[in-house]
Structures are given as structure tokens and as C-alpha cells.
Amino acid sequence: MDIAKSSIERPVVTWLIVVICLVGGIWGFNNLGKLEDPSFTIPNAIINTPYPGATAQEVEEEVTERLEMAIQELQQIDVIESLSMPGRSEIEVEVASTYRSHQLPQIWDELRRKINDTQAALPEGASPSQVNDDFGEVYGIFYAVTAPGYSESEIRDVSRFLQREILTVPNVARVATAGEREEAIYIEIPNERLTTLGIPVDHVINTIQTENQVADAGSMRIGDDHVRIVVRAGVDSVANIESIRIGRPGTTEQISLVDIATVTRQAVEVPGHLIRHNGEPAFTLAVAGVAEANIVEVGEAVERHLQALEGRIPLGVELQPIYEQHRVVDEAINDFLLNLAMSVSIVIGVLCLFMGWRVGMVVGATLLLTVLGTLFFMWVFDIEMERVSLGALIIAMGMLVDNAIVVAEGMLINMQRGKAVKEAASEAAGRTQIPLLGATVIGILAFSGIGLSDDVTGEFLFSLFAVIAVSLLLSWALAVTVTPLFGYYLFRNAQLGSDKDPHGGLIYRLYAHFLSLALRLRVLTVTLLVGVTAACAWGFTFVSQSFFPDSNTPMFYVNYELPRGSDIRATRRDAERIETYLLDKAGVEAVSTFIGRGATRFMLTYAPEQPDPAYAQFIVRAESLERIAELDSEVYAELQAFFPEARVRTQRIQFGPGTGAQIEARFHGSDPVVLRRLADEAKEIMRGNPALIDIRQDWREQETVVAPQFNEERARIAGVSRDELAQTLQFASSGVRAGTYREGDSLIPIIARPPENERRNVSRLADRMVWSSAEQRFIPIAQIVDGFATESQEALIHRRNRVRTLTVQADPAEGYTANAAFSTVRGAIEDMTLPPGYALTWGGEYENSSDAQESLARQLPLSFVAMLVVSILLFGKLRQPLIIWLVVPMSICGVVIGLLLTGLPFSFTALLGMLSLSGMLMKNAIVLVDEIDAQIKTGKERLSALLDASTSRLRPVTLAAGTTILGMLPLLFDAFFNSMAVTIMGGLAFASLLTLIAVPVFYSLLFAIPGHESQRQD
């Protein structure tokens, strides 16, 4: 079918395609969803089960083990990781990567059923398990709210007001707050008062609970009405609590609570979570948009609504942004569009310079329509506009422009040989449309491994494959329809006919002489090519490796950990000092402090730390990205010196999936003593390695506990049970919950405890009195306890797939990639002698990268088989595809040279660049081989046909390569794409040489074409 001729003779259809691409592209750009990074499924859920009073080992054996046995029955679960700690079991499950996001709700339902069925098997005293499957929700609009001078209850009112108001903004899905200080009502009763009056603690607690209990008082019929009887709770103020009567029921031996206790309402003494921003106490307000919504529009709508609320927000309350995804996305897209415009301009400029303004305008217009048409189809197929999908357009730029260049250049050459413009267009497009289509399909198949990869990295990069597939197919369709039509309009009045050989210029003649020399010395040429390829393959071992690069967001984290068992108030004290230090550092714009746990998930690649009183995290915003490297090393070194008893580590934000330490050695076994010994040995190896910093292990330190030596015999005689002893000690230390105070929709705990001077002194525990139900009097606690012992216990017991697992973690030092640092320590740790029943596995970036590459490797054979089949079907022969596949491995040469010269690592994105490079190389090779075949079929002498065909491809190949290389220049300054850009630029420069030299040489060898004039045969 003569598509080009039809597009010229029936231009209405072609112009309809142009209008659809033009208008549809503008429409698509304005309506596409906009994100910072591609969304990917977080296939994890957390099961929390409180077991108050239990040790970590008791939690592991009585709760965690039973739940894990039930969970492992689900075939969809890939990894089960658990953490048993005093009083709580935390199990994290990860669904196998073969399951997609739409299948997760069903899997979570099955998980809940398994967990619910296991509740009956849990020990008495364990609270019901809670399954949290939405902790992966991203709140991209993240504010710190400061309210100096306001009380806890007033701050809580402000929080509820803001949450309620923002939820009314269109396309806002969720609003979460965190860090509001909780309140409690404390009833402080001296031990002396209780023992003097002979009132047991549980009697006081029961009285308060009874007074404040909501109870059904029944109902009755009055006439035709059914009237309920309501007995209101007697506690509606602190004064009412003070007036509660304590004593023996039915007697006058009663006393008001205020006569024996002090009742106060205040912030809880031991908070679970504290937040500060720029040195002031704060709480956070996090907003998540609807999944399909444009986050830029959602963010702007939230900002407008907050501006409208300024008159209703109390004076002094300020909202300060921590992270505004909509601004980041808007800026990133604007920068990228600028890069894209620069790339297109460079392409058009180079074409105009070397092929004339007419060809430049024709190819440039086709390229612009391809980009706009791709945006339209992105909207049709619901592909968001984000970093990867937009980057795919620049990745594909070389292949996009190549189709149009081949057709336009063919038209130009035909017209220079005297053909009419319509005939020139028909022949140029008709001759190359099938080879170009085959080459385009092969280029798409080169990326199909990404599209078919079933892991989280494949999901993260799926839009790359989708956009490249759409854009390449569209570029071919426009090259054989729009390019001939536009060429017809611009070339028909040009004086292009000439008797001169269009390939007779100086550059063409020099190339022909050089190619003739290579053909005469083809054995030497092939030997040199193979030698260079082998040398570069060896040189590849010197290229540093990485998974995903650091983000270009000018933020980094400082993680601070005190020894396990530290009080959160000690963590707060140190955090305030660190916060002041950070704010005084030059180059720091803002510091947000999170004490007791991490922040709300404000970006997809951020993994919040689970609750830990000894943990604090600082989110530091720098003035610029360039300042982070300097600040990172300074802060790490100085804080390590300031706080030698703590563990300080800095952390850069990374692109793509994968979190946690970058180097992880996991030791699996049963005995904690042996696991800790192996961990100590591994840590010593790591400490002696200058490539590693932040060396730690996840079981951390053992926790100090005070254990009363309960005398069973004397306790039974005295009529005191273990539970009564535990309640007495709880009352004497942290306090006992005596009820709940209701205030609107707030539920404030009522805590009974002794005064501060009795609570703070651990030695006074032995002086406490415990109530004997049998004797109906207080007896000294020493009567039933032989003493108090101080012990060390495991406080964190990690398991992986039901096996105890201790993980030694580290991060690479400055100047090392994770892979390079891992390589320096791997051998020494693997040489460790492990006892029978113990095993070592590797986690961190090595595991993430291996999993991603393994998933990609599972799909690549299918992709390459498909590419091979297409190349064979394209020619219907074997030798031509063999020539094409022989040159593909040689493309590594330019890649290695480029990466070594720039010092950039070979990242996962660079691997994608190599796939793109193979597609471009094969495309050029296919068109050249097809041109050689075509010229030989005309009856031309074979050596002349080989030389003429190669010479005719000189300009299209060099221009396509040159425009692609120059079009990649803007990406050199993008942290995510720079290694890929270098891979394509260096690889394509060498690939052009392969196309123009190696392909003709291999063709002459496989088809036995002589390289000397005297050896020519018909």
C-alpha cells in the first residue's frame, strides 16, 4: 500500500491526524494527572497486637508465633517479618510481586479473616490484633502547624477545625494530623493516705469508673410514648472528680477524693509522639488527594481554601510547609518541559543547519506532533505525567526523529536526482516503511522487559515502556503520512533537481574511502572491533554500580537513636539541642523534628519509622541541592562527636522503591546469644572497612528491667496474687487508668498514681504497701517479695519468615556507591564460620537491585526472542538478522567510555538507556541492511551497492545520532536521568560508527563480497 502517496492525494485524512495530535496533545497536557514520581503499589500490611506486661520473648512465643503460623497459610504472602517487643507484637507482611494493586483488597480481607480466626488462640490479656493495610497512603501536602501560647485542648480544637475544613476541598481524599499533645486527668494519692485510711487502690479505681460509666437505665411507656430513662454520668468536670466520695458503701465512713488526692488536668507526662518545627512545638497536617486527581490542582485548591480561612484561624496559629508535592511537581514538569523544548529546538536547529530549513521544518513538525500526540494517548490510556513518563519522551527522541529523517532525507535525495516531489515521497516512504516499522517494533520490544516485569521496580517504570511504545508507533505512523505531506508542501517549489551526485560531497567521499579501506582490511577491522569490545567489557568492571540515584529534592534526614529503653523525654531533650544546632548551620532553611516515631508518609519513597521512644528524626531542608553533600558530612561528624552515647546517621532521599540501610547482612538462627556473637563479628569486619559508616544492628541493646522476686508461698499465705502485686507496682510507677473523662468528642484518660516524689525514687518500691484481700489490710510489699533484681532482657526480637533474624546494617561512606561498598566487605563476611543451623543472607540495595534485575532478566529472554523473530520475519532470511545482532554487543564500548569519563555509576536507569541504545542501533542497522539488499536487487555490482547504500545512510545516521546526543544534553543535569543520558550519548556515538563501519564489514564477510576492485564479481 502506497501510504505516502495516499496522504498527499487525500490530504484531508492526514490533516485530521495533524489536528487530532495538535488539539488532543494540548487537551491531554491540560488534563493529565500530574505526579512527582510514578505511583507503585506498597504491598505491605502491619498487624499490631498489644500484650501488656509480657516480655519480648513471651510476646514472640505466645502471640507472634501463633499469628505467623496462620499468616503463612496464605499463598499470596511472600515475606513475613515480625518484631516482638515488651508488650507488643508487630508483624509486617509483604505480598508477592506477582499480585497487582487491584488484587490487594481481596488479599487483605483474607488476611483479616486469618487473623480474626487466630484471636481465640492468643493468651488471656492480649488485646485484639489490628490490621493496618493503608499505611502506604501518601500525604503529599504536608504542613507543620505551630500555635505558641495555646493549651493542649485549644490546639486539639484547631487541629479538628483544619481537618474538617480541608476535607471539604474537592478531590481531597484524606487529611491526617499527628503530634497533638494528649491530655490526662491525674489523681495523685500519697501512699501514706491510702494505708492510714485502709482504702485499697482498686476500690478507688472502681468508684471512679462507676461514677463515670454510661449505663442503660431502661425505658417505659407513658401514654402512647416510649420514654427512655437516662442516668447521666456524674463526672463532667475536674471539680466533679474531686467531689467523688470514697469509702465503705452503706456507712458514713466516707471521704471526698479531694481530701486524700490532688486532681489535675495536664498534658500526658510521657507522650507517645512529639513534633517540633524550627524550634517550636507543632503538630502536622497532612493532605492526600484522590488517586486520579491532578495533585497540582488539588494543592492549589487547598492553598486557596486555607487563604479563605485566615480570618477564622486563631491569631498566632501558623501553617508552615514541610513538603508541598504540588509545587515540586509543577516545578519539575515546567523544568522538564523546558528540557523537552530545548531538545526539540536542538533537533530542529541541527537539521536546519545540515539539511536545510525545509527538511528541518518537516522533521521538526513531525517530531512536535509526535510529542503532542503521545500526550494525547497518555490521557486516553490514563498514564500520569511524572518524572519517568516524561523522561521516556526524551529517551525515545533519537528513535522518534529517525523515522522522519529517513523519509525526509529519502525525498530530498530523490528530488535531487530529478524526480517529481510526489514520486519522490512515494518512493522514499514506500521503500522504507516496512523496515522502519520492523525496526520500530524491535525498539519497543527492547523495553518490553520493563513493561512485563512483575516486581515493584517494573511497576515504578511501567510508564517508561508504555510511553515509548505509544510514541514510537505514533512516530512511524506520522513519518509515513504527515512527513510526506509536509515535504510535498515545502519541497515542491524548491529547486532541488541537480545532475550532481547527492552523495558526492567531501564528507561522503572521505567516508567512502575509509569504508573501502575497512572492507579491504575487514579481518583486521573485525579484530579491532572485537578487541575494543573485549577491552570495554573488561573496563566495565571499573564502572561503579548503583540501583537508583539520590533525589534532587533539597532535603535530607538526620536519624538519632539513644540506647534501647531510653525515655522519650531524654530523646526530646537531645532533639531540642540538635534542632538548635541544625538551625544555626549555614545553608539550612528549615528543620522539622519528629520524636518517638517518624513523620506521616509525605512521599512515596519515604518509609516512616514505627513507634520508638528512643528515636528522633529531623527532616532538614537545605537552601540548595548542592549544599546537601557538605551539610550531610558535617552534620554526621559533628553530631557523632557531640552525642557519643547515641547513634547518629544521615540519610539522603532516593528516587524509586527501596528503603532502609543500603548494606544489610542478615543472620538467621535460633539462639539470641549466637546471633549477637555473629553480629559483633560482622560489625568488627565492617568497622575496619573505610567504605562503610553507620554500622549498627537491628536488635539493638538489651533493655534493663527491674524484676521483683515474687515469693509464692508467703504471697499465698498473705492472700496476695501476682496481679495484685503488678497493679500495686503499676500504680506506684506509671499509674493505673481509673476511667475516662468525656468532653465532647474527646476521651481523656483518668490516671491514678502517687505524687512525683514517690514515683521518681525506685528504692521506694520496696517500701510500698500492698492490699491483702484475705486480711483486708495493707501489708508491706517486702513480705511477699524477696527483693528487686536488675536484669537485662532482649527488647527487640526480629524474625523473618518465622526464623529469628538479626540484621547488621551499614551505609556507604562518602565517595562510595552502595555496590562498591558492598563489594569491599562481602567476601570477608561470607568467609565467617557459621554454626550448624545458622545462615547468612544479604539485604539492602543488593537485594533490591538483584530482585529488580532478576525480574527483568525473567522477561528479557522473551523480549529478545521476539526481537529476533521480528528481525528474521522482516528479511525472510538468516544472514541479515545475524549481521544486525552481531553489532549489538559492541554498543557497550561507548557506554563504558562515557561512564568512566564522567564518573557516573551504572544505575538501573542506565540499564534502561542500554536497552534504548540497542533499539536505536538495531533500527539503523535494519534500514542500512535493507538498503544494501535493495541496491543489490537493482542489479548493481555488489561492492558498489554496499558502498553506495552505506554512503546514502551516512547523513541520516549521523544526524539522528547527533540530534539525539545533543537532545540529551539537558538531561545531564537531572539527577535521575544523568547516568542514562551519558549511556545513550556515549553509546550512540560509538553505535553510529558500528552502523556505518561494522555493518558493511560484516555484510561483506557473510555474503563473501570482495573488498578489492580487482576481485569484483557479478
Residue 1017 has pLDDT above 70, yes or no: no
Q: Please check whether residue 563 is in contact with residue 700, taking contact to mean a CB–CB distance below 8 angstroms.
A: yes
User: What is the distance between the alpha carbons of residues 462 and 447, in angstroms, rounded to a whole number?
Assistant: 10
pLDDT value for 559: 92
Residue 332 has pLDDT above 80, yes or no: no
997 closest CA partner among 513, 515, 511, 528: 515
Residue 41 has pLDDT above 60, yes or no: yes
Q: Please check whether residue 768 is in contact with residue 191, taking contact to mean a CB–CB distance below 8 angstroms.
A: yes
Pick the CATH number of 554-653 from 1.20.1250.20, 3.30.70.1430, 3.40.50.300, 3.40.50.880: 3.30.70.1430
pLDDT value for 119: 93
98 closest CA partner among 43, 145, 143, 172: 43
Q: Please check whether residue 997 is in contact with residue 511, taking contact to mean a CB–CB distance below 8 angstroms.
A: no
pLDDT digits (tens, 9 = 90+) for 178-197: 999 888 899 998 888 888 87
User: What residue type is assigned to position 264 of the chain?
Assistant: T
pLDDT digits (tens, 9 = 90+) for 521-548: 888 988 998 999 899 989 888 887 776 7
Q: Average pLDDT of 866-871?
A: 87
pLDDT digits (tens, 9 = 90+) for 960-1015: 788 778 777 777 877 777 888 888 888 888 888 878 899 899 999 988 888 664 34
Confidence of residue 558 (pLDDT cuts 50, 70, 90): very high
User: What is the distance between the alpha carbons of residues 259 and 253, in angstroms, rounded to a whole number?
Assistant: 13
For the 1-31+356-492 domain, the top CATH level (class) is mainly alpha
By percentage, how much of the chain surpasses pLDDT 90? Answer: 30
Query: Which three cell numbers mark 809?
Result: 546494617
User: What residue type is assigned to position 660 of the chain?
Assistant: G
User: What is the distance between the alpha carbons of residues 18 and 685, in angstroms, rounded to a whole number?
Assistant: 65
pLDDT value for 854: 75
- Identify any residues that bridge with 622 across adjacent strands, giving them in sequence order: 588
pLDDT value for 830: 92
19 closest CA partner among 482, 469, 404: 482
Pick the CATH number of 513-549+845-1017 from 3.40.50.1820, 1.20.1050.10, 1.20.1640.10, 1.10.357.10: 1.20.1640.10
Q: Average pLDDT of 61-90?
A: 93
Residue 763 has pLDDT above 50, yes or no: yes
Close Cβ partners of 37 (under 8 Å, ≥ 6 residues apart): 386, 387, 388, 460, 603, 604, 605, 655, 656
Residue 418 has pLDDT above 60, yes or no: yes
Q: Please check whether residue 422 is in contact with residue 428, taking contact to mean a CB–CB distance below 8 angstroms.
A: no
Per-position DSSP letters for 476-522, written without gaps between them: HHHHTTHHHHHHHHHHTTS----SS-TT-SHHHHHHHHHHHHHHHTH
User: What is the distance between the alpha carbons of residues 798 and 311, in angstroms, rounded to a whole number?
Assistant: 51
pLDDT digits (tens, 9 = 90+) for 398-414: 677 878 888 888 888 88
pLDDT value for 808: 93
pLDDT digits (tens, 9 = 90+) for 615-672: 999 999 998 888 888 888 889 889 989 998 888 988 888 775 556 688 999 999 999 9
Close Cβ partners of 730 (under 8 Å, ≥ 6 residues apart): 736
The 10 Å Cβ neighbour count of residue 412 is: 23
pLDDT value for 842: 93
Residue 83 has pLDDT above 60, yes or no: yes
Residue 503 has pLDDT above 70, yes or no: no
Residue 251 has pLDDT above 70, yes or no: no
Q: Which helix (H) or strand (E) holds 201?
A: helix 201-211
Residue 464 has pLDDT above 50, yes or no: yes
CATH topology of domain 190-214+224-260+703-793: 3.30.2090
Q: Give domain limits for the chain.
A: 1-31+356-492, 43-135, 190-214+224-260+703-793, 513-549+845-1017, 554-653
Pick the CATH number of 43-135 from 3.40.50.720, 2.130.10.10, 3.30.70.1430, 3.90.79.10: 3.30.70.1430
pLDDT value for 1016: 42
Query: Which three cell numbers mark 177?
Result: 494530623
Give the 3-state secondary structure of 517-563.
Answer: HHHHCHHHHHHHHHHHHHHHHHHHHHCCECCCCECCCCEEEEEEECC
- Identify any residues that bridge with 665 across adjacent strands, giving them in sequence order: 808, 842
pLDDT value for 50: 94
pLDDT value for 103: 85
By percentage, how much of the chain surpasses pLDDT 70? Answer: 95
Q: Give the strand pairing for 615-622 and 785-793.
A: unpaired
User: What residue type is assigned to position 295 of the chain?
Assistant: I
Residue 67 has pLDDT above 90, yes or no: yes
Give the number of C-alpha atoms closer than 13 A to the C-alpha of residue 167, restricted to the C-beta side: 10
Q: Average pLDDT of 329-339?
A: 79
Mean of pLDDT over the chain: 85
Confidence of residue 323 (pLDDT cuts 50, 70, 90): very high
Residue given cell 512529639 in the structure block: 274
Residue 446 has pLDDT above 90, yes or no: no
Residue 499 has pLDDT above 80, yes or no: no
Q: How far is CA 844 from the centre of its chain?
A: 14
